[in-house]
Structure 1
């Protein structure tokens, strides 16, 4: 790519240039119309009705129409069809743009260097998928040794076989996942945002909701201020000035997210409750896509897809970017094949209002080991839906979310999640056996492995460090290989250098995060900070 300074040196035209774009991706071929503005021979700004990811390459066909004297640079006039790369998301300049489309900055590939990069990045998904397949075959080859030497260490070999089978099954099942079809279903919805001390993001969250393409007369929005001590309440009131239909509930003191979610549900008039975290931002089509699953009356909840908004902030957020993609597009997609998603993420989830109201008091008064349950609200509500309804995932109902940027925030979040996982897994274990046998089998395996994994890591990594045996190179190699498989799957979808951080996260989990499970078990009754 040319330097930014050189690109800015080109004279720019303010004339809007109609264009037709095509995207030819490994698994995603798309096309549509767009408008090129503020452009030069180096690049420009493009406006379109569909979202794209930064890094996407597209083929752009310029359509000047009858304006034959339109000042198109000679190099573009000669080509008329150029390749361009999306390099950044551009701000929307008006309310009309915000409601109807997206804007991006792009760079034209007009030199040999950028053309070489274009061809390399087009081949990259194929390379990633070939390496992914090679990694899978390597895993299977290693498992043959577990079978061959099974009776030398039967428990260790059984664990290795089962956990590999479990992980590979997630990829296999997710291959058969299909998002709910667009049935044109547009029920009355109530969007609820409950938060505490989120003054920096709540305004943007609410603005994004009101920029949705969902019919305004069928969408109600409720914001719940859960006893904030910063400027969150003021930001909500300013949002109400911009969006007069916004309803606001103010709590005098912090009661917890669950109480805020319940207060919104009680005030709601919509058939579908859409919950969005205060640091998550939906696309214009997200709510419309999210509710399509409810056209099936047996569906009680739908989980959306979350990507990391601040992914490039630091090492921690980059690791979480890959982890989020796998958690949603592989794990939840695999669960959705059997309509048994075990946790509808708080970032973006929708529930049928009627069954929520039927269990609302029980959910609000949930206790565990004699203590009030003040965290894991989303996983708990998902469990209530799983008892009677199908719970699915929609990969095209997308939001971006802010993830922890410091290790202190991250560990607190993970501890809270692990405690809720412990509680809700025990509760789900009492009824999951009633569902499809495959669902039950994988559910109980998924509960077992996080409890056993720290012991296996301790035996292979920690004991050798203190003089008991030698480190298991095969264990380390197997863990690295499985991490590479996850990361290559991400690379096949997103052609960015962030894929390598999936491997980093696997080691981070294996050496540090895995031990938090036992601490969560020992402190599961402590919930003094769980009201956020």
Structure 2
């Protein structure tokens, strides 16, 4: 904190007597440092963060009301002009679609039921694959947690693969094997070849009828694996199952705390609704299960997938999900199959993770559209297409929204910010209410509003940037 304040003082001193161009550059750096200082301050107290967020949102709404009462001007564009009418029509159309889509998700969520864990006798032979790269001791913790699974030992195979780590990851993998014996089989890649290549090796070495993939920075509960694979027993058409990802390091900063609330909504609400139609769009890398035959049907295509002429190295989870959906298989969600995973604790790491996710989303939305418009599966195909259409809305309007935002920020900054705060207040209420009803925790549920402000003003650029750089396959966090 003191270091940041010192840097702010230095930049302020430098601005005196500089050229306009240099002054502009320094002013941008100054704003960034002030924001970083504010974030560090808010990171120290959840109560201060929540109170600040709610105050900011209410101030924005109050200014909007004041503007209406004082001047009657609450429009970003003249409603009588062509552009004003076009913007109004577009906004109302999108709002109607979004409200309709939310209603569709809400009804679907209300009908969702997770599959109960089947008996030990019914459980299939299962191989759990844990790829690791520079994870250190965390991979050891992951393997130990898996070894404590309430799953028949003779039916459970553990495989861990060191993907050419340059730290002590291999030491901790070998230590886990020393403690667990033949329960875990270990391999070391000759060099860092990427997560997809490591998983590919695991799939080829696996002996189970079901493949489970777990990230090396994740911890499972004893009941997780049994619950995760149960849908394969009760549904012969089940090709993949998505686990319920929660935040392991949620007490280590504001970002993990916010994402804990966001993850609860995106997994337990959105994926539950998608699961009703067997059309969960992404089985997360942190915890997923696949039927062996479904994986083997597409394994080489998955390993050698290309996009824009380049071999893909990111988004292996979404790619595998798409290829299994394409086979006409169901992809479902198990809310009781929980995994706790480490997520970024700072903005720099978070933006890299989101950029990687968004790039793979752009690619896989294109891939899914190619088969989703056809007769790719039996039964309901309208619901999956509606889910896909909602994905496209975000991509299609990313640049128009960005351009409009910049125009309004320059022409009517206070009014635009007030309208933005009103939107955040309304739409963030959905995950906030969901989290409160699910976990009866008022303080944590209010962090949905903080995340709404945080995303709107510091992560809004991710989707446009990901679209422009969709062909970039860099992992970023490696």
Instruction: Please give the range of the TM-score, normalised by the shorter of the 2 chains.
Output: 0.7 to 0.9
Q: Closer, same or farther in 2 for the Cα pair 1:277/1:311, shift >3 Å?
A: same
Q: Deviations over 1:176-211 (max 9, x none)?
A: 110013333311000000010001310100000000
Instruction: Name the residue aligned to 1:193.
Output: 130
Count of equivalent residues: 383
Q: Closer, same or farther in 2 for the Cα pair 1:476/1:307, shift >3 Å?
A: same
Matching of residues 333-412 of structure 1 within 5 Å: 333-388=272-327, 389-412=329-352
1:493 to 432, 435, 438: 438
Q: Distance in 2 between matches of 1:361 and 1:152?
A: 47
Query: Is the aligned partner of 1:440 residue 2:385?
Result: yes
Q: Distance in 1 between matches of 2:295 and 2:194?
A: 18
Contact 1:254 1:531 in 2 (8 A): no
Q: Deviations over 1:290-322 (max 9, x none)?
A: 111001110000011011111121111111101
SS in 1 for 2:167: coil
Q: Closer, same or farther in 2 for the Cα pair 1:151/1:520, shift >3 Å?
A: closer
1:284 to 217, 222, 227: 222
1:272 to 210, 214, 221: 210
Query: Is the aligned partner of 1:479 residue 2:424?
Result: yes
Q: Distance in 2 between matches of 1:371 and 1:158?
A: 37
Q: Deviations over 1:391-438 (max 9, x none)?
A: 000000111111111111111111100010000110001112345112
Contact 1:188 1:218 in 2 (8 A): yes
Matching of residues 13-412 of structure 1 within 5 Å: 153-184=88-119, 185-245=122-182, 246-295=184-233, 296-388=235-327, 389-412=329-352
SS in 2 for 1:514: coil
Q: Distance in 2 between matches of 1:504 and 1:256?
A: 35
Q: Distance in 2 between matches of 1:162 and 1:150?
A: 18
Q: Distance in 2 between matches of 1:369 and 1:399?
A: 34
Q: Distance in 1 between matches of 2:455 and 2:147?
A: 38
Contact 2:129 2:211 in 1 (8 A): yes
TM-score, normalised to structure 2, is: 0.77
SS in 2 for 1:397: strand
Instruction: Name the residue aligned to 2:451.
Output: 505
Q: Distance in 1 between matches of 2:386 and 2:366?
A: 15
Deviates more, 1:302-311 or 1:431-440: 431-440
Contact 1:255 1:531 in 2 (8 A): no
Contact 1:163 1:449 in 2 (8 A): no
Contact 2:314 2:474 in 1 (8 A): no
Q: How far off is 1:457 after superposition? A: 5.9
Q: Closer, same or farther in 2 for the Cα pair 1:400/1:228, shift >3 Å?
A: same
Q: How far off is 1:475 after superposition? A: 5.0
Deviates more, 1:449-458 or 1:279-288: 449-458
Deviates more, 1:449-458 or 1:151-160: 449-458
Q: Distance in 2 between matches of 1:502 and 1:468?
A: 27
Structure with more contact order per residue of length (Cα contacts < 8 Å, sep ≥ 6): 2
TM-score, normalised to structure 1, is: 0.69
Q: Distance in 2 between matches of 1:262 and 1:421?
A: 21
Q: Closer, same or farther in 2 for the Cα pair 1:349/1:364, shift >3 Å?
A: same
Instruction: Name the residue aligned to 2:409.
Output: 465
SS in 1 for 2:246: strand
Q: Distance in 2 between matches of 1:531 and 1:401?
A: 15
Structure with more of its chain in strand, by fraction: 1
Contact 1:192 1:275 in 2 (8 A): yes
**5+ residue gaps in structure 2?**
1-83
Contact 1:363 1:381 in 2 (8 A): yes
Q: How far off is 1:340 after superposition? A: 0.3
SS in 2 for 1:509: helix
Structure with more of its chain in helix, by fraction: 2
Contact 1:227 1:254 in 2 (8 A): yes
Contact 1:375 1:531 in 2 (8 A): no
SS in 1 for 2:211: strand
Contact 1:375 1:530 in 2 (8 A): no
Instruction: Name the residue aligned to 1:449.
Output: 394
Contact 1:273 1:350 in 2 (8 A): yes
Q: How far off is 1:171 after superposition? A: 2.8
SS in 2 for 1:153: helix
Contact 2:208 2:292 in 1 (8 A): yes
Instruction: Name the residue aligned to 1:526.
Output: 472
Contact 2:349 2:477 in 1 (8 A): no
Q: How far off is 1:531 after superposition? A: 9.0
SS in 2 for 1:471: helix
Q: Deviations over 1:356-400 (max 9, x none)?
A: 112111111101001110000000001111012000000001111
